[in-house]
Amino acid sequence: MRNISVLVLVATIGASVFVLPNARAWTSYNASLQESDTIRCRTDTVDPTGKNWGQWCSYFVATISADSQETDGVYDYYQIVVRLYDQSYGINGDDGVDSFYLTVTWQPANSAGGVMRNEPQSNWYAWQYSVSLSYSFLSTSIWVPTGSIKAAVPTPGSTMIMRWDGGQACLCSTFNNYAEFGVDLALPEGTGTSVTFQTSSEHFHYDALYPFVVTINNSGSLVIPNGHTDPVTGGGGGGCFRCWRN
């Protein structure tokens, strides 16, 4: 289920009422994809001996949060966090995810804007731990996966694709239960975009003689609407900053 909160800015001076000209104008915004939106399962988990191990499932939760405090007149800032789950980890022979990729794709207006921060960054991670992801007034923690992580950060263009690839040198799990990925991005002031998510994860069962891997793909999308307006600031003496007469 997508959760969206919208704040319409209204200011009053005396008997007059002033509103932003776009009825959809807003400052605070949050949207999300939940387990029910993205879960995918496979029941063809058959090892080389013909044994079926039962149902294996994965899903992701994605959230988009707007920076509701920035007053940059050129760009708006958003934080996207994706939590990738191995729902069947430790169940029915699912020993974990040994490799995966995740892409977050959007199309900024006029090819402007881009990635301000991302986590995890390209590196080798010996174990899972939290790192900070912050830009402007946006801040959160990211629970990184283990193993070799490659983060491909896009340069501004007609289509922006932020991609992570992860894997182990052995048939080993890159995360226990879940791992997180985040990106802080900039969009031209007041413009929106659609954001699509694609994941592919290889779930494995370890056996000295008959190991096997099952791939599960997940996808989903969210929309950042047009109409973001920076918060009202200043306006001493009863004035109204960035307001228009209705």
Residue 112 maps to a domain: yes
Half-sphere exposure of 98 (CA within 13 A, CB side): 16
What CATH number is given to the structural domain containing 102? Answer: 2.60.40.740
Mean pLDDT for all residues in the chain: 85
- pLDDT, position 232: 80
Residue 72 maps to a domain: yes
Residue 235 maps to a domain: no
Q: What's the gap between Cα 13 and its chain centre?
A: 40
Residue pair 151/174 in contact by the 8 Å Cβ criterion: no
CA nearest 199: which of 220, 177, 223?
220
Query: Which 3-state string (H, E, C) describes the chain?
Result: CCCCEECCCEEEECCEEEECCCCCCECCEEEEECHHHHCEEECCCECCCCCECCCEEEEEEEEEEECCCCCCCCEEEEEEEEEEEECCCCCCCCCCEEEEEEEEEECCHHHCCCEEEEECCCEEECCCCEEEEEECCEEEEEECCCEEEEEECCCCCCCEEEEEEEECCCCCCCCCCEEEEEEEEEEECCCCEEEEEEEEEEEEECCCCCCEEEEEEEEEEEEECCCECCCCCCCHHHCCCCCEEC
Region 226-240: what's the mean pLDDT? 64
Residue 238 maps to a domain: no
Which residues constitute the domain of residue 211? Answer: 34-226
Cross-strand bridge partners of residue 138: 135
Buried b or exposed e, range 52-69, using 16+ CB within 10 angstroms: ebeebbbbbbbbbbbbbe
1: confidence class by pLDDT, cuts 50, 70, 90: very low
148-186 confidence digits (pLDDT tens): 999 999 988 878 999 999 999 888 999 989 999 999 999
- pLDDT, position 234: 58
Read off the tokens for 8. 């319409």
Residue 168 maps to a domain: yes
Residue 241 maps to a domain: no
Q: How many domains does the chain have?
A: 1
Decide: pTM greater than 0.75: yes
Residue 98 maps to a domain: yes
15: confidence class by pLDDT, cuts 50, 70, 90: very low
Residue 110 maps to a domain: yes
79-96 confidence digits (pLDDT tens): 999 999 999 999 999 999
194-223 confidence digits (pLDDT tens): 999 999 999 999 999 999 999 999 999 999
Read off the amino acid at residue 118. Answer: N
